[in-house]
Chains A and B, each alone.
Chain A
Amino acid sequence: MSILVNKDTRLLVQGFTGSQATLHSEQSIEYGTNIVGGVTPGKGGQMHLGAPVFNSVHDAVEAVQPNASIIFVPAPFCKDSILEAADAGIKLIICITEGVPTLDMLIVKKRIDELGITLIGPNCPGVITPGEAKLGIMPGNIHMTGSVGIISRSGTLTYEAVKQTTDLGLGQSTCVGIGGDPIPGTSFIDVLKLFEADDQTKVIVMVGEIGGTAEEEAAEYIRDHVSKPVISYIAGQTAPAGKRMGHAGAIIAGGKGTAADKIKKLQECGVHIADNLPQIGAKVKEVVG
């Protein structure tokens, strides 16, 4: 089955005619993704990469009925673009752009939660269901259709986990990069919930990193609600305690946030730990037998 995206995904690209959007849209089309159109205000009526360009998401929705949108617009305009897609009724929005101001995300997150919309990112590689659809900037060729569901806060680290599970012949159901920003649209828990309900996913790889408490919260969720085996790798085990300013950040984390704390919590909750980056694939193999 896979999650979030598949061969029925009708994708709209926001910021379609920009250079990054063009490069990655070409790759996505080549991979087999159905791009039904794009939006660049002021360029409506043109064709780009064989798809129609619209002035607004609303125009595009009326004309070509997309059911997902991917955003490449510059960071200062992401708040507007995400909320435009939400207002036009698109239920899955993926924001690739990095550098979105945190306070913009506070507003965006509240609004999309009210509307029941799934936002992946910002600052993320996107989502791919191997063999069906690629909505993002990941290299398609390292993926393979299979049974491992992958969730990660980091781009290239996700590719590493993908490559290792492909090399071992396991393949992936869907890979979701939720992004490394402090206020992500989608959390580990949201994706774990989807993988747990997905028949194709037999095992889950969760790639985390230091900072915040998302992994700790995910650990508790896994303990209580996830029956499938979960393998986790946490990056930043050797990172020194940061040069911090003030104490407020540290106290709100309540002493959590280090790799050691996260690993301990994950182990307590029954998650299998790959303690070294090159061993993620091997650990998955060991767990699924």
Chain B
Amino acid sequence: MNLHEFQGKELFAKFGLPVSKNKVISSADEAVIACRDIGGSKWVIKAQVHAGGRGKAGGVKLINTPEEAINFANHWLGKRLVTYQTDAEGQLVSSILIEECTDIAEELYLSAVVDRGTQRIVFIGSSEGGVNIEEVAEKTPEKIIYEPIDPLTGPLPFQARKISKVLGLNPEQSKEFVKMLPQLTELFIEHDLALLEINPLVITQGGKLHCLDAKITIDSNALYRQPLIQEMHDPSQEDPKESEAAANDLSYVSLDGNIGCMVNGAGLAMGTMDTIKFFGGAPANFLDVGGTATQERVSKAFKIILADPEVKVVLVNIFGGIVRCDLIAEGILAAIEEVGVSIPVVVRLEGNNAELGSKILEKSNAEIVSLNDLEEASKKAVELSK
């Protein structure tokens, strides 16, 4: 699950990390009071969406009067911000962050992730901040440091000094960073983060370290033990079909093609999409109905797939493990009946009682093609999609 910048900064502040004085508003009426509360005569105003590249898209602005804040809020609230990281529709702006303006001397990069290779939390630092870090990694890898944290010892001061050197910090700032690194690690562990990114981490004109941005992703598996984070969930930032699927324990990603796919297991779902493509078709979605394809789940899955008007044919590929295929077949028929499916459905059932399952499907009046062979089923779906 992703957090907004203002939520990330709330967490930063909670763990003693330096962030700007700020206010979050959700209507233009609050803009003047927010500016006044923060004080000063210059502010930065930022649209809050779950995507990077906001600055270039006009979602971040330096302002000199509270009136400009009102104008910005009136312009963006309720609209969708399109950046290079969003799709063409963009993300809804439902809140805006106003913060004290920071005078920047230098922009640095700092992040932490769970690294699969070292199986550690790894901090990544670079003197090149505020830019596309992937380019830095490719062109000047020597400007990036990867520092893994041992779960037994936690971050040690020497590691903070190693990172400081690559960041180009002076001795005073390095001391600050020796304090910051355990705070960041504590935040990461206490709230089950998957990603923490500060881009840029800046050095102010006064020579202090300061977190100018905050990007945080939480490990979804750990949400059950993160009540504070659960409250930060913002469904407006997600694709409504994907959210609905998730609410029903289905995993769904919408794609551009016209063959709706319903598969059990994420790996087999990807494999099925690949097979469709291999035979010249285009999958309309990735959909994993999970290990137990019950009638209820199959019905929900049909509803979600058929909500996409591009879908011309549905390919159901179920490898019945422990669950018997005849039960799945009955579930599919009941679901088709319930949902009122009017396009052709190709079903491939494999596993326990697969033949019995196929017989049940063949007897029905619905427009169902039942094929046990994955290759044949995929070819048939592709043919029907043309």
Q: Is A99 an interface residue (CB 8 A)?
A: yes
Cross-chain contact A156 with B267 (CB below 8 angstroms):
yes
- Could you tell me which residues of chain A, from 113 to 138, have a CB within 8 Å of some CB in chain B? 125, 137-138
Interchain CB contact (< 8 A) of B277 among A183, A217, A237? A237
Partner of A99, one of B112, B132, B221, B265: B221
B321 → chain A closest CB, angstroms: 5
Q: Is the CB of A245 within 8 A of B217?
A: yes
Determine if B274 and A247 form an interchain contact, defined as CB atoms under 8 angstroms apart: no
- A269 interfacial contact with B, CB 8 Å: no
Q: Are the C-beta atoms of B132 and A160 separated by less than 8 Å?
A: no
Q: Interface code B115-133, partner A: CB below 8 Å = 1, 0 otherwise?
A: 1110111101000000011
Minimal beta-carbon separation of A259 from chain B (angstroms): 8
Residues of B near any A CB (own CB < 8 A): 2, 50, 52, 85, 87, 111-117, 119-122, 124, 132-134, 137-138, 144, 146, 151-152, 189, 192, 194-195, 197, 199, 215, 217, 219, 221-222, 224-225, 253, 255, 263-268, 270-278, 283, 286, 291, 319-322, 350-352, 373-375, 378
Q: Select which of A139, A207, A235 is within 8 A of B321 by beta carbon.
A: A139
For the complex, what is the distance from the CA of A248 to the CA of B133, rounded to whole Å? Answer: 8
If the complex has contacts A106-B114, A246-B195, are A277 and B351 also in contact, measured as CB distance less than 8 A? Answer: no
- Tell which of A106, A107, A137, A238 has the most Cβ of chain B within 10 Å: A238
Residue numbers in A under 8 Å from B375 (CB-CB): 276, 278
Q: Assess whether A80 is interfacial by the CB under 8 Å rule.
A: no
Question: Are B321 and A137 closer than 8 Å at their CB atoms?
Answer: yes
On chain B, the residues within 8 Å of A247 by CB distance are: 52, 111, 132-134, 197, 199
Cross-chain contact A252 with B146 (CB below 8 angstroms) = yes
Q: Judge whether A101 is part of the interface by a CB distance below 8 angstroms.
A: yes
Task: Indicate which residue in B111, B122, B133, B265 contacts A155 across the interface (CB closer than 8 Å).
Answer: B265
Assess the B221–A245 pair: CB atoms within 8 A: no
Beyond A23-B322, A103-B222, A238-B276, 14 additional contacts (C-beta under 8 Å) are A75-B221, A137-B291, A156-B264, A160-B268, A209-B270, A210-B270, A237-B274, A245-B215, A246-B199, A246-B217, A247-B52, A248-B111, A278-B374, A278-B375
Q: A102-B194, A209-B270, A252-B124 are in contact. Are A214 and B116 (CB under 8 A)?
A: yes
- Cβ of A107: which chain B residues have Cβ within 8 Å of it? 151
In the assembly, what is the distance between CA of A209 and CA of B265, in Å? Answer: 12
Could you show 12 A-B contacts with beta carbons less than 8 Å apart? A75-B221, A102-B114, A107-B151, A182-B114, A183-B119, A209-B270, A212-B116, A235-B271, A238-B283, A248-B197, A251-B124, A251-B144
Chain B residues positioned under 8 Å from A278 (CB to CB): 275, 373-375, 378
Considering the chains assembled together, what is the distance between the CA atoms of A251 and B144 in angstroms? Answer: 10
Name the 6 nearest CB pairs between A and B, nearest first.
A154-B267, A156-B265, A157-B267, A101-B222, A248-B111, A156-B268
Select the residue from B87, B199, B265 with max chain A CB neighbours within 10 A: B265
Report A's interface with B, CB cutoff 8 A: 23-24, 27, 75-76, 99-104, 106-107, 109-110, 125, 137-139, 141-142, 152-160, 163, 180, 182-183, 207, 209-210, 212-214, 217, 233, 235-240, 243-252, 254-255, 275-278
Name A106's contact: one of B119, B253, B267 (CB within 8 Å): B119
**A250 to chain B: which residues have CB within 8 Å?**
134
**Interchain Cβ contacts within 8 Å, total number:** 182
Contacts of B267 in A (CB 8 A): 152-158, 180, 207, 209, 235
- Establish whether residues B197 and A246, one from each chain, have CB atoms under 8 Å apart when the complex forms: yes
Taking CB as reference atom, which chain B residue is nearest A142?
Answer: B351
Check if B221 sits within 8 Å of A102, measured CB to CB.
yes
Chain A residues lying within 8 Å of B268, measured Cβ to Cβ, are 154-157, 160, 235
Q: Quick one: which of A23, A139, A212, A277 contacts B320, CB cutoff 8 A?
A: A139
When distances are taken between beta carbons in the complex, the residues of chain A under 8 Å from B132 are: 247
Q: How far is the CB of A55 from chain B (nearest CB, A)?
A: 25
Q: Across the interface, which residues of B come within 8 angstroms of A276, CB to CB?
A: 274-275, 278, 375
Residue of B119, B138, B286, B375 contacting most chain A CB atoms (<10 Å): B119
